[in-house]
Structure 1
Amino acid sequence: MPDDTAETRLTDRLDPARANALLAALGRPERLDAGDALPPFFHQLYFWEAQPPEGLGRDGHPRTGGLIPDLGLPRRMWAGGALRFLAPLRAGEEAEKRSVRETVARKTGRSGPLAFVTVRHEIRQGGALCVEERQDLVYREDPSPDAPAPVPPTARGDETLARIARFDSTLLFRYSALTFNGHRIHYDVDYAREVEGYTDLVVHGPLLAQLLMLLAEEQAPLKAFRFRATAPVTLGEEVTLCRDAGSAWVRGADGRQCMAADLEF
C-alpha cells in the first residue's frame, strides 16, 4: 500500500452473532437480533482489515505505510478519541466505514521522539451518517531499560456510580479475537515485557472505553463520548469504573487514573 493513501473505505454486514459474542464475553445478559440497535462503540467488532503475515509489523498490527504512514517509530498506542452517535447502527444490516487520515505531527517528549496521528472515521448505514469517530494514535521509540516509569495522574474519588472490573487472559483473548486486533501486547507476555516494557499483558484501551460507555448508557443514551488513556491496565488488575453526571473514568486499585472521559447525553 503506498504511503500517500489518506483514505480507505470498508463495508461489512453487522452480524448480530459477533455483537452477542461480545455481550457474552462481558457477562451481559442482553441478546440482539437482526434489526436491533447495537450498543455504542460496537462498530469496533466490524470492518476488519485482515492482512496476510507479510502485511504485519513486528507488533502484530498491519504494517504502517498507507493510511497510517511509516514514521520510523515502532510502538503504537491508542491514546484516546472522540465519538458522536447520530443514529443507531442496526445489527444484520450492511454498513460502510470511511476512514481519513487528518493530521500527522512529530514532537519530542521526555522519553524521546513521538508522532501523533489522528484518523477520522465515518460510519453510514442506509446512506445515513450514524457514527463519527476521531482516533488519536501515538507512536514512540522502544523504552530505554533505565528510563524512569512515567507517573500517572491520580483519579478522582467523587463518583456517584462505581463498578468493579477484572481482566483475565480469557477476556483479553476474546476481545482481541472479536475485534481482530493482533497487537501482541494483549496476548504475548514475553513481547509485552521484553520489547514494549510493560509489566504484564495489557488490557485494550478500547475495551476500557467500551465498559465506560456501557456504564454511561445506564443513565441515558449517549450522544458523544470523548476519552483519553492516561495509564495502562494490566492482566489480573482490579479497577473501578466510575461515573458522575457528565464524566467517567477508570481508577486503578492504587488510585491512579487509567482513563478519563467526557459524556454528552
Structure 2
Amino acid sequence: MDPARARALQATLGMEASVEAGDPLPPFFHHVYFWDPVPPARLGRDGHPATGGFVPDLGLPRRMWAAGRLLFHRPLLAGVQAEKTSVVEGVTRKTGRSGPLAFVRLRHDIKQRGGVVLSEWQDLVYREDGVAAERPRARTDETHVEEVTFDSTMLFRYSALTFNGHRIHYDQDYARQVEGYDDLVTHGPLLAQRLMLMGQAQLGRPLAQVDYRATAPLTLPHPATLCWAETDEGGDAWVRAPDGVQCMVAQIR
C-alpha cells in the first residue's frame, strides 16, 4: 500500500499530503489501490472493462455505481502489503418505471497481516440508454455543512488515481451525446469519499461502518453541499446540489 499514492489522493482532495508508511489510511482511500488494468481490446464503449468476464454481460449498456457498504474491522495501514479478494454475490433483474434494470452486488475483502481489515459491498446498476434519472429533494435539517467544488482537473486526477476509465468523467461529448448528462459527471465514489472524511472528522474517531446510496448525478460545473446530522449511532450524511436535489445519502457510524 504505497504511501505515495495515498498522498497523491490527499493532494487531489486539497488535504495536506501527510500519509507515511505505518499510518492508518483515511477511510475509502483503498480505492486508489488494487488496480485491475485491461488492454484496450477488452474495454467497453464507456471505457470500463467490458462485461462478460468477472461481471456478467447483462445486455444493458449504461453502468452506474448505485450504492455501497463498508465494514472497517481494523485500520488499513500504508506501507504494508495487502491482498484483496472479490466475488460476485448476486445478480438480479427488475423492471421499473424507467425500464429494465439489472443489479450486480460485489463483495471485496482486504486482508493485511493475516486478517481481514476491511469488507466492502458494491451495488452496480445497469440500464438502457436514454433513461433520465430521478431527482429527489434533499433534507434541510443538517447541523453541519461543508461546501465543496469540483472541476475537470479534479475529476481527471481522481479517475487516474482510481484507474477509472469511465468516459462520463472526462469525455464531455460522450457524457452529453451518448449517456445524456448535462456535462461531465462527478464520480459517485468521490462524493462518498468526501462524506466519509467529513463523518470521521465530526465523530472524532475512526469509522466502523458506512452505508451509502447514490440518488442523482452531480455534473460540472456545480458545487455541492455536504450535510451532516448527528444520530444516536453516529450520523446521517448527504450531498445536496445547488438546486436542492439530493445526490447521495449515507449512514456513518
TM-score bracket for this pair, using the shorter chain length: over 0.9
Q: Report the AA paired with residue 153 of structure 1.
A: P
1:89 matched to which residue of 2?
76
Task: Structure 1 unaligned segments of length 5 or more: list them.
Answer: 1-13
Q: List per-residue Cα deviations over 1:29-82 (Å, max 9, x = no partner).
A: 251111111001111000000000001111000011122100111100000110
Match of 1:237 among 204, 222, 240: 222
What is the aligned partner in structure 1 of residue 64 from structure 2?
Answer: 77
Distance 1:104 1:133 in 2: 17
Confirm or deny that 1:204 pairs with 2:187.
yes
| Structure 1 counterpart SS, 2:207 | coil
The aligned residue for residue 141 of structure 1 is: 128
* Partner Cα separation in structure 2 for residue 115 and residue 165 of structure 1: 32
State the one-letter code of the partner of 2:52: G
| Offset, 1:236 | 1.2
**Corresponding position of 2:165:** 182
Counterpart code for 1:113: P
TM-score by length of 2: 0.96
Instruction: Measure the CA separation in 2 of the matches of 1:174 and 1:151.
Output: 28
State the distance in 1 between where 2:5 and 2:20 align.
11
The answer to whether the 8 Å contact 2:109/2:118 transfers is yes
RMSD of Structure 2 on Structure 1 (CA): 1.0
Distance 2:111 2:134 in 1: 40
Q: What's the offset of the Cα at 1:154? A: 1.1
Q: Which amino acid aligns with 2:237?
A: A
Shift of 1:150: 4.0
1:161 and 2:147 aligned:
no
SS of equivalent residue, structure 2 residue 142: coil
Contact kept in structure 1, 2:134 and 2:215, CA below 8 Å: no
Matching residue of 1:53: 40
Identity of aligned residues (%): 64
Partner of 2:251: 262
Q: Distance in 2 between matches of 1:49 and 1:61?
A: 11
Instruction: Compute the TM-score of the two structures, normalised by the length of structure 1.
Output: 0.91
- Name 1:127's counterpart in structure 2: 114
Point out the more displaced range, 24-33 or 164-173.
Answer: 24-33
Partner residue of 2:210 out of 225, 233, 236 = 225
- Runs of 4+ in structure 1 off by over 4 angstroms are none
1:7 counterpart residue number: none
Query: Aligned residue for 2:8?
Result: 21
Rounded to whole Å, the distance in 1 between the matches of 2:153 and 2:80 is 29
SS in structure 2 at match of 1:244: strand
Q: Using the alignment, how far apart are the partners of 1:85 and 1:236 within structure 2?
A: 33
Deviations 1:87-120 (A, max 9, x none): 1111111101011100101111122111000001
Can you give the 5+ residue segments of structure 2 that lack an aligned partner in the other structure?
Answer: none
Q: Identify which of 97, 100, 110 aligns with 1:110.
A: 97
The CA distance in 1 between the partners of 2:52 and 2:34, in whole Å, is: 19
Secondary structure of 2:217 counterpart: coil
Aligned CA distance change for structure 1 residues 22 and 55 (closer, same or farther; 3 Å): same
- Alignment partner of 2:237 out of 230, 240, 248: 248
